[in-house]
Amino acid sequence: MKRALFPGSFDPITNGHYDIIKRGIKLFDEVVVAIGINSDKTYMFSLEERKKFIEDAFTNQPKVKVVTYKGLTVDFCQEINAKFILRGLRNPADFEFEKAIAHTNRKLSKIETVFLLTAAKTSYISSSIVRDVIRNHGDYTVLVPDSVKIK
């Protein structure tokens, strides 16, 4: 089975993340969306909310599994037998940042990183932009899947 891990904080999942996952399931038998737990980071949404947003967005997609994890991504990949890490690239700055991580991951393990370019229509979206729109009471719904609901 070709299993890919798509790691991130997903605070919240955006239409860009959604697009990468949808395209990833065409390439892999299973895409494990892995929400990293970082106790040093302050999140807008709880871990449970972030997990539910993703699960609800992919309710009818058996090839998508949503989990949480702590520690090194490559260690978690080995734990779940994922041979690939899936990452989306929006711009050259993303590439430089992700390239360094991919080289490090390959040095630590045999895990390969697969990069997908974001779709032009979602390349400007980031979770931090979405959070800023939400904080300022803007229409965030055009930036995220329908499953992201603010109470």
Write the DSSP assignment of 79-97 as a string of letters. Answer: HHT--EEEEEE-SHHHHHH
Contact present, 4 and 24 (Cβ < 8 Å): yes
Measured in degrees and rounded to the nearest 5, phi and psi for residue 83 equal -95, -10
- pLDDT score at 145: 97
- For residue 41, the 8-state DSSP code is S
Q: What percent of the chain has pLDDT over 90?
A: 92
Residue 150 located in a structural domain: no
Name the maximum alpha-carbon separation found in the chain. 44
- pLDDT score at 150: 87
Q: Catalytic site residues?
A: 17, 41, 90, 127
Q: What is the pLDDT of residues 33-43, one digit of tens each?
A: 999 998 788 99
**93 CB burial (10 A radius; 0-12, 13-18, 19+):** exposed
CB atoms inside a 10 Å sphere around CB 122: 18
Residue 147 located in a structural domain: no
Count of domains for the chain: 1
The CATH number linked to 20 is 3.40.50.620
Residue 18 located in a structural domain: yes
Q: What is the pTM of this model?
A: 0.95
Q: What is the pLDDT of residues 52-70, one digit of tens each?
A: 999 999 999 999 999 999 9
Which structural domain range is residue 107 located in? 3-142
- pLDDT score at 15: 98
Q: Which two tokens stand for residue 22?
A: 């949808």
Per-residue pLDDT for 151 more than 80? no
- For residue 20, the 8-state DSSP code is H
Contact present, 9 and 39 (Cβ < 8 Å): no
